[in-house]
Structure formats: structure tokens, C-alpha cells
Amino acid sequence: MFGFDDDDFFGDIPAPKGSCKLDYIMNDVCDVISKITFWVLVIGGTLGVIEQVVIAITNAILKAKGLR
């Protein structure tokens, strides 16, 4: 990469045979990012559903009381 040997920068990091050590690091980084993204979407989606339910219940109560 850029005319340098990867061992100049990543000498201590073990890599599977036949792979560039930089690719190995990036795979770990991408794995972590994808897990974080997944949980953000799950939690965000769940909160969105809860919010809609609360809004629907609130509207139903207001209609029943004749305030809306």
C-alpha cells in the first residue's frame, strides 16, 4: 500500500494467512459499525412504534372526552 510494507505500520497485529493486515483491521471496524447501526435501527424503530401507540391512545382519550 502506497509503496510501504504493511509490517512497517501493523507489525504486532496477527492476520489470517493470505490477507492484508489492513483489510483484517477494516473488517473488524466494519463489523463493529454494522452492529452499532443494527442496534440503533432496532432501538429507534421500537421507540417509533411506542410513540405511535402513545399518540393513538392519547387521541382516543381526547376524542372520548370531546376535547378533539
Q: What is the pLDDT of residues 28-55, one digit of tens each?
A: 888 888 899 999 999 999 999 999 999 9
Q: pTM of the prediction?
A: 0.47
Residue 24 CB neighbours (<10 A): 15
Q: What is the per-residue pLDDT for 42?
A: 94
CA dihedral 24, 27, 31, 34 (to 10 degrees): 160
pLDDT at 5 over 70: no
Residue 1's pLDDT band (boundaries 50, 70, 90)?
Answer: very low
Question: For the residues 11-17, what does the mean pLDDT come to?
Answer: 58
